A and B are shown apart, each in its own frame.
Chain A
Amino acid sequence: MLHSIVPVEEIWAETDLPAAELREVMVHGCMMQVEPIDSSSGKVVRILSTDPQDYLKPEFQPGSIVLLTD
């Protein structure tokens, strides 16, 4: 349920766009969901770690590019 000044129709516009394919990878001991760019790198979508400090690391912030080491 939304409480926003933006009209609901506007928020939900373009819902039929295809969702990006996501991969779950381990980077430096931290499990994360990435949107693959090529075979060796990806863009961080979200962190799945249970260590709260992982969420403060600047290199793991959503949108940043990580090298997939696996």
Chain B
Amino acid sequence: MDSSEMVSSNYPDQPHQEQASMQAIRNFGQMNLPDGSLSFHVLPIIGQVEGHMVLPPRNKTTKYEHVIPQLVAIEQNPKIKGLLVILNTVGGDIEAGLAIAEMIKTMSKPTVSLVLGGGHSIGTPIAVAADYSFIAETATMTIHPIRLTGLVIGVPQTYDYLDKMQDRIIRFTVDNSSVSEQQLREMMFRTGELVRDVGTVLIGEEAVNCGLINEIGGLGEAVSKLRQFIENPALAKSNRYRYSPQFQQPFQQPYGYHGFNTRGGY
């Protein structure tokens, strides 16, 4: 089977495919399950994104040491034409989350992400890293600042470090979606939305309205968008924000930002 046949064979309306599955029912009394190795792969980002520290067993985790080689394999395997990233995460390690996001962003194959349930905290850069992003109507994304709970912050350098980590996440999110930096920071430090905390909860449509996510949709929409990209890779590329002029502009602190910046801006 050559590669062009592999893409089309996942379509159920293909006449020869139907014939083959009928044959399987007659011969073995069972259906041919769609072969997962054809066409595209699915990467679920579930629970906590685990980083350098192994989290206690009660946490459900996505382990980067496994996800990253999988992304390499998907990029390298000529049989795989695209990647669907499904997110239901509460956030997690910043370095690991950004590493996964960078891998998805720099993949040459079409990528589509779908936020189901939740795509909170460090899940945001992973969701926007794909060429096109969907969010389910009921799914939520929490935008909030990084914080160190239980640690005493005693030196200005700690603020500086937090600030730099925060900027990495903001920069990546702004570069890969159409949300503006000012709006993202405003949402991040908004008061009155979360109980005893700063930040914003975006539900379905709200994530689309602010430009973070491309479209409201579910599994059907995400899969058909990915198939569309696989058939026409130029379409996928046109959705990559890193080619937008916004990316070329120097990174600036917006007017009215009252974060932890102790360096007096860039």
Contact = CB atoms under 8 A, between A and B. Distances in A.
Contact of A5 (B41, B55, B72, B91): B91
Interface string B106-137: 00000000000010111000000000000000
Contact of B146 (A3, A7, A9, A52): A3
Contacts, number: 88
Contacts of B90: 4-6
Of A2, A12, A47, A54, which is in contact with the most chain B CB atoms at under 10 Å from its CB? A2
B31 interface: no
Q: Main SS of chain B's interface residues? A: mixed
Q: Main SS of chain A's interface residues? A: mixed
B66 A62 contact: yes
Contacts of B95: 1
A4 B72 contact: no
Contacts of B56: 11-15, 17
B252 to A, nearest CB: 23
Interface range, A side? 20 to 34
A2 B90 CA distance: 11
Given A7-B149, A56-B70, A2 B93 contact: yes
Interface of A: 1-9, 11-15, 17, 46-47, 52-56, 58, 62
Interface of B: 36-37, 41, 48, 51, 55-59, 63, 65-66, 69-70, 72-74, 76-77, 90-95, 97, 118, 120-122, 142, 144, 146, 148-150, 165, 169
Given A3-B92, A5-B142, 20 more contacts: A1-B51, A1-B146, A2-B92, A3-B97, A3-B121, A3-B146, A4-B90, A4-B120, A5-B90, A5-B91, A5-B144, A6-B91, A11-B59, A14-B58, A46-B63, A47-B69, A52-B69, A52-B77, A56-B37, A56-B73
